[in-house]
Structure 1
Amino acid sequence: MRTRFTEAFGVEHPIVQGGMMWVGRAELVAAVANAGALGFITALTQPTPEDLVREIARTRELTDKPFGVNLTILPSITPPPYAEYRQAIIESGIKIVETAGSNPVDHLPFFKDAGIKVIHKCTSVRHAVKAERVGVDAVSIDGFECAGHPGEDDVPGLVLIPAATRRLQIPVIASGGIADARGLVAALALGADGVNMGTRFMCTVESPVAHAVKEQIVANSELDTKLIFRTLHNTARVAANAVSAEVVEIESRGAEFKDIQHLVAGARGRKVFEDGDLDAGIWTAGQCQGLIDDIPTVADLVERMVTEAESIIAGRLTSFLDDAAVRA
């Protein structure tokens, strides 16, 4: 399945494993790369830029295929040393970067000078158009169904993807709500050049999260997420559990961030992924968990998606044309 995305980024399949905090580590990223898709190490999962350099080297020991690094840029009282992480990426010889969060314009000249292609993750058409204008090579457009931060416009992928692709000239990666071949085919039909999956890749054998988390994703339906930080205009979609329910309840009474800060601390979410204590903190999951019913290897997942997508296109969709021809 060749698309503008596979051609431009040198991968076999139009499937991306985007950056995920505490999840985008060497074992998963290398497995994605070896399966012919594009995986991203999450830079800020590594405590220091030096640790990121080591994680990149560790990934290279596991694969000789292309992979990238995600650098999420967010406002913070004490921001990470973004310039140092950026330099670690460049000096490690990475050729693909996924940016997310704030506008990447300050980082683009450095990446471009190093011959690095940049995919920027957006949650709205206006931000995607701006990203194209400042010079990114592709955008990943996140529909409202996604895990993590879907923006504040609440536009689902069925509308957001074609709304973006009709405005942009660069490749578009569809993200949010995609977990199988049907989502891949639908995204291509809507004008995208590939798909990005987070929750689905989190629920694979090579994913570094606790097995209890994977089992819970399989058990959950599309209804088992919560939207937190809505009243703070920083909406995030997370898995439904005791902590996210408490956050929503506190917000419903009117709250400032300090009122829920102890519940949403990143260290608590990390404990969920590492220890498998599902109520230790909040953890991200998308609505597509309702479409996930197994924990395959990455290789099996990618092969299944591509094979089934080709079957849908050549079989079910083509049959509509054949039937129309017969009726004519």
Structure 2
Amino acid sequence: MLRTRFTERFGVEHPIVQGGMMWVGRAELVAAVANAGGLGFITALTQPTPDDLRREIERTRELTDKPFGVNVTILPSINPPPYEEYMKAIIESGVKIVETAGSNPEPFLPYYKDAGIKVLHKCTSVRHALKAERIGVDGVSIDGFECAGHPGEDDVPGLVLIPAAAKALEIPIIASGGIGDARGLVAALALGADGVNMGTRFMCTQESPVHQKVKEQIVAQGERDTQLIFRTMNNTARVADNEISRKVVEIEKAGGVFEDVRDLVAGARGRRVFEDGDLNAGIWTAGQVQGLIDDIPTCDELISRMVSEAEGLITDRLASFVR
């Protein structure tokens, strides 16, 4: 069993996290991760209303008695969601772990702390992680450039970012981006992390609530099959390579602005990919770790395999180098 500062502080069996993913972080997946000894997060804004989030939390509790959390991503918006109401739903539902991402979570921290909730904040740079530590979060999940979704604008890969964060921070660190198996877990621990976060890898499991065609596409694609969109808008996002993401990149290269791609990148179109299996309906997030994924296991199979193989790597292969 791999025990780290993260497993001790957050009360989970294994140092493996399934972070929030839009349209993906639902009860079936979160409970499966929890039952396998990892930490799964419901994605709050996948639920249309705070009351829907309350119901999803209860549905998760019907499927597991293990710890799980809720992700709340705060982003600038013309019509922002009622974040305070989502927070209230989390607190009143008795959830004890929250993953925050996007904007500074400081305005919400006193309420979470008063409710005895531990906060894991997701960030993409050491400077942002240090700020999160100063305002009082309990741990950070730090995303390297390889990750799906928003890797920030610094383009620092995990091999540099993780040890840089470990050197600067006192709180537990979760490594995210490019991790999909035991080798990534052991490497992250060696670099100074206390655990790993996986998105694309968990999206490609049997319990993941996305269409089978999406999972099969992840298995088929390699590490080069992603696109970086919104680069010219200083809001970089790594998504799967498809007709739509290539078109967005072409429009950007030609000098286009967000209004020129708004329809192409609409969230409703991306949701159709996951629900209908139309791989070119819209953009959908996927990381470079696709190149390391070659099966669609259950969450229990995936986590058990990672932990047992990690223990073997540490006690056998790495130990053999020491004379």
Q: What TM bracket, shorter-length normalisation?
A: over 0.9
SS in 2 for 1:39: strand
Partner of 1:189: 190
* 1:96 equivalent in structure 2: 97
Can you list the C-alpha shifts for 1:240-269, whole angstroms capped at 9, x where unaligned? 000000000000011111000010000000
- The equivalent of 1:177 in structure 2 is 178
The answer for the alignment partner of 1:198 in structure 2 is 199
Structure 1 Cα separation of the partners of residues 257 and 295 of structure 2: 39
| SS of 2:187 mapped into structure 1 | helix
**CA distance in 2 between partners of 1:67 and 1:125 (Å):** 26
Aligned partner of 1:166 in structure 2 is 167
How far the C-alpha of 1:272 sits from its partner, in A, is 0.1
Matches for 1:1-328 after TM superposition, within 5 Å? 1-321=2-322, 325=323
Read off the aligned partner of 1:40 and give its amino acid letter: F
What secondary structure, in the 3-state scheme, does the structure 2 residue paired with 1:107 have? helix
Runs (4+) off by over 6 Å? none
Q: Distance in 2 between matches of 1:12 and 1:90?
A: 23
Q: Name structure 1 gaps, 5 residues minimum.
A: none
What SS does the aligned partner of 1:312 have?
helix
Q: TM-score with structure 2 length normalisation?
A: 0.99
Structure 2: distance between partners of 1:219 and 1:175? 22
Per-residue CA deviations over 1:223-242 (Å, capped at 9, x if unaligned) read: 00000000000000000000
Distance in 2 of aligned mates of 1:214 and 1:14: 24
The one-character-per-residue Cα deviations of 1:193-243 (angstroms, maximum 9, x if unpaired) are: 000000000000000000000000000000000000000000000000000
Q: Secondary structure at the match of 1:41?
A: strand
CA positional deviation for 1:168: 0.3
Return the alpha-carbon distance in structure 1 between the equivalents of residues 107 and 147 of structure 2: 26
Per-residue CA deviation, residues 45-83 of structure 1 (Å, 9 max, x unaligned), is 000000000000000000000000000000111100000
C-alpha root-mean-square deviation of aligned residues, in Å?
0.3
Residue type of the alignment partner of 1:317: L
Percent of residue pairs bearing the same amino acid type: 80
Distance in 2, matches of 1:260 and 1:75, equals: 18
Q: C-alpha offsets along residues 80-137 of structure 1, whole Å, 9 cap, x if unaligned?
A: 0000000000000000000000000011011001000000000000000000000000
Letter in 2 for 1:78: N
- Structure 2: which 5+ runs fail to align? none
Residue 214 of structure 1 aligns to a residue whose secondary structure is helix
Distance 1:78 1:257 in 2: 17
Q: In 1, distance between residues paired with 2:68 and 2:263?
A: 35
C-alpha distance in 2, partners of 1:109/1:99?
14
CA distance in 1, matches of 2:169, 2:15: 18
Please give the secondary structure, in 2, of the residue aligned with 1:188. helix
CA distance in 2, matches of 1:72, 1:112: 18
Find the residue that maps to 1:166 and give its secondary structure: helix
Cα deviation for residue 10 of structure 1 reads 0.5
Q: How much has 1:191 moved relative to structure 2? A: 0.2
Per-residue deviation, residues 140-197 of structure 1 (Å, max 9, x unmatched): 0000000000000000000000000100000000000000000000000000000000
Distance 1:71 1:200 in 2: 21
**How far 1:297 moved relative to its partner?**
0.3
Aligned AA for 2:181? D
The count of aligned residue pairs is: 322
Partner of 1:264, secondary structure, is coil
Alpha-carbon distance in structure 2 between the residues aligned to 1:240 and 1:131: 32
User: Cα distance, 1:9 vs. partner?
Assistant: 0.5
